[in-house]
């Protein structure tokens, strides 16, 4: 790892945890040494080119999301960040009130800007925007599975309209005739939009090159708002301004040896397949039964009694992952929220005990599950390492040799667990 003193260039405010690891991993891929912090810490950030603050503000009350986002930016600004990047989901997940509009409006005022872009596009992952309309693969957002999302159903693909309903700022369109024609054309169009009184421009992007042109044209704005795709282009733009020397070894966080374990609390289709592959490969695995009569600590103790003697022989899996039918059965018996919280507490106890037993490499499946495990291990700051799968990097606790791969439910190929462990052997 390079040890030269380098100023902080980019401060990212991310509206959820796995979204934060996603954007951080893009920045590392493009050569920025990146640190992720969970919430706003009391102390200043460690040395890095980019710092990402992971909030949990996507679906909370707008006023609270605004307050948390401003606190995050104030902390990043105090550490010297030149540009603010508000990161949200590539499917623009928001409720009719926000929180993308209110947070954008508040951050724009706080950064002293009068114009910014909104661009959740990431063509490499099938998220494109044309004439302001967001596509998921070949479908309009409003015809994709997102229309059924339990918390943030997206029933309108026209992002200009969606965003305009969330903010008093004037929203306009930065069309593909500009973003497809290079950075100079984007600059000209941005100037014209600004002259018309537009404060937020939804930006079309159908190819990765469009994002690169957009990044080059936007690097001088005090604020950008986007999914993770824009992060691929910003480091090069900073480099041309002399603000950054991209580092091909930005993801080199140093090897963490020691025992390894996989903890799986996600019940997504992808995670079910990943657990099944581990079982099919006859690797050691222990199933947590949320309906067991024992208390949460006793269930974790039982997992440890099983895992302890096996750890020296290689990684073990402890999982609560179950089929939709099984999850329904558990939820009917315990209540939906109580079931989730019980499993998360069991995973947290298990993580703590595995750590006491010498485990230093953890693969965790599930967004909420990852939050529970990092909190249980007392991890507040993570250095971002190599990419395991798009949007999922290895992370290393900033203060000790402890490696974590935190995977949101639907990410990763079927061999994700073994693949992750090979990369951090
Ligand atoms: P994902 O990223 O796939 O959404 P999360 O960890 O965010 O995964 O959410 C999964 C939720 O399901 C967690 O609250 C977890 O505690 C809960 N859960 C895990 N296993 C079971 C199970 N067998 N029965 C009921 N709930 C479960």
Calculate mean pLDDT across residues 203-215: 97
> What is the H or E stretch that residue 142 is in?
none
Q: What spacing in Å lies between the alpha carbon of 96 and ligand 1's midpoint?
A: 26
Tokens of 77: 């600004």
CB proximity list for 28: less than 8 A, separation 6 or greater: 34, 250, 251, 384, 385, 386, 387, 393
3-state secondary structure 170-237: CEEEECHHHHCCCHHHHHHHHHHHHHCCCCEEEECECCHHHHHHHHHHHCCCCEEEECCHHHHCHHHH
Residue pLDDT, tens place only, 18-42: 889 999 999 999 999 999 999 999 9
Calculate mean pLDDT across residues 92-117: 96
Tokens of 48: 């890095």
Handedness of CA 286, 290, 291, 297 (dihedral sign): positive
Give the rounded percent of residues in the chain with a pLDDT score beyond 70: 98
**Which of 21, 58, 350, 366 to probe ligand 1 with, by most ligand atoms within 8 A of CB?**
366
Residue pLDDT, tens place only, 337-381: 899 999 999 999 999 999 999 999 999 999 889 989 999 999 999
Mean pLDDT across the chain, nearest whole number?
94
- pLDDT at position 396 over 50: yes
Q: What spacing in Å lies between the alpha carbon of 321 and ligand 1's midpoint?
A: 7
Maximum average pLDDT range among 89-103, 147-161, 308-322: 308-322
Q: What angle do CA 383, 422, 425 make, to 5 degrees?
A: 65
Residue pLDDT, tens place only, 122-136: 998 899 999 999 999
Residue pLDDT, tens place only, 286-299: 999 999 999 999 99
Residue pLDDT, tens place only, 145-167: 888 776 788 999 999 999 999 99
Please name each of the domains of the chain with its CATH number. 10-240 (3.40.50.10840), 259-423 (3.40.980.20)
Calculate mean pLDDT across residues 197-203: 98
Calculate mean pLDDT across residues 78-83: 96
* Contact yes or no for 208/124 (Cβ under 8 A): yes
- pLDDT at position 266 over 80: yes
User: Is the model more confident about 4 or about 184?
Assistant: 184
Q: From the alpha carbon of 265, which atom of ligand 1 is closest?
A: 19
Predicted confidence band at 408 (pLDDT cuts at 50, 70, 90)?
Answer: confident
- pLDDT at position 4 over 70: no
Return the pLDDT at 257: 85
Residue nearest to atom 26 of ligand 1 (CA): 340
Calculate mean pLDDT across residues 95-113: 96
Return the pLDDT at 5: 59
Return the pLDDT at 153: 86
* Contact yes or no for 235/30 (Cβ under 8 A): yes
**Which of 18, 368, 373, 375 to probe ligand 1 with, by most ligand atoms within 8 A of CB?**
368
Residue nearest to atom 19 of ligand 1 (CA): 265
Return the pLDDT at 409: 82
> What is the H or E stretch that residue 140 is in?
strand 139-140
Calculate mean pLDDT across residues 11-19: 93
For 370-381, b where at least 16 C-beta lie within 10 A, e where not — what string?
A: bbbbbebbebbb
Return the pLDDT at 1: 44
**Which of 369, 372, 392, 405 to probe ligand 1 with, by most ligand atoms within 8 A of CB?**
369
Predicted confidence band at 2 (pLDDT cuts at 50, 70, 90)?
Answer: very low
Return the pLDDT at 147: 82
Return the pLDDT at 21: 92
Q: What spacing in Å lies between the alpha carbon of 363 and ligand 1's midpoint?
A: 15
In the structure, which protein residues have their CB atom closer than 6 angstroms to any atom of ligand 1? 265-268, 271, 290, 320-322, 327, 330-331, 339-340, 343-344, 366-369, 408-409
> What is the H or E stretch that residue 59 is in?
none
* Contact yes or no for 318/261 (Cβ under 8 A): yes
pTM value? 0.89
Return the pLDDT at 3: 45
Residue pLDDT, tens place only, 317-327: 999 999 999 99
Residue nearest to atom 15 of ligand 1 (CA): 340
Q: From the alpha carbon of 320, which atom of ligand 1 is closest?
A: 20
């Amino acid at each position: 790892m390079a040890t030269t003193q380098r100023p902080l260039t980019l401060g990212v405010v991310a509206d959820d945890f796995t979204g934060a690891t996603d954007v951080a991993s893009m920045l590392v891929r493009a050569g920025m040494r990146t640190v992720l912090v969970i919430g706003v810490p009391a102390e200043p950030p460690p040395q890095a080119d980019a710092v990402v603050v992971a909030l949990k503000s996507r679906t909370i009350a707008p006023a609270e999301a605004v307050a948390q986002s401003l606190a995050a930016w104030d902390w990043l600004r105090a550490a010297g960040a030149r540009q603010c990047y508000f990161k949200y989901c590539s499917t623009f997940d928001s409720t009719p009130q926000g929180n993308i509009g209110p947070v954008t409006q508040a951050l724009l005022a706080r950064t002293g800007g009068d114009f910014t872009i909104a661009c959740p596009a990431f063509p490499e992952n099938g998220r494109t925007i044309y004439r302001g309309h967001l596509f998921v693969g070949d479908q309009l957002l409003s015809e994709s599975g997102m229309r059924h999302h339990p918390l943030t159903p997206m029933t309108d693909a026209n992002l200009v309209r969606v965003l305009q309903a969330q903010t008093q700022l004037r929203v306009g369109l930065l069309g593909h005739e500009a973003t497809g024609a290079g950075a100079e054309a984007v600059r000209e169009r941005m100037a014209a939009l600004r002259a018309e009184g537009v404060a937020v421009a939804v930006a079309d992007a159908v190819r990765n090159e469009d994002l690169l042109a957009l990044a080059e044209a936007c690097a001088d704005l005090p604020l950008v708002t986007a999914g993770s795709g824009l992060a691929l282009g910003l480091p090069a733009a900073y480099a041309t301004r002399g603000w950054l020397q991209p580092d091909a070894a930005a993801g080199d966080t140093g090897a963490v040896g020691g025992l390894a374990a996989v903890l799986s609390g996600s019940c997504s289709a992808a995670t079910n397949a990943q657990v099944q592959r581990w079982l099919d490969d006859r690797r050691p695995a222990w199933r947590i039964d949320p309906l067991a009569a024992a208390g949460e600590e006793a269930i974790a103790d039982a997992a440890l009694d099983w895992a302890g003697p096996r750890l020296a022989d290689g990684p073990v899996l402890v999982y609560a992952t179950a089929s939709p039918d099984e999850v329904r059965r558990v939820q009917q018996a315990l209540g939906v929220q109580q079931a989730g919280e019980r499993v998360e507490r069991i995973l947290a106890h298990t993580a703590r005990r595995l750590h006491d037993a010498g485990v230093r490499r953890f693969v965790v499946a599930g967004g909420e599950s990852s939050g529970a495990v990092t909190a249980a291990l007392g991890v507040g700051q993570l250095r971002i390492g190599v990419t395991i799968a798009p949007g999922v990097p290895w992370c290393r606790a900033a203060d000790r040799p402890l490696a974590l791969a935190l995977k949101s439910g639907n990410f990763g190929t079927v061999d994700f667990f073994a693949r992750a462990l090979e990369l951090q052997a």
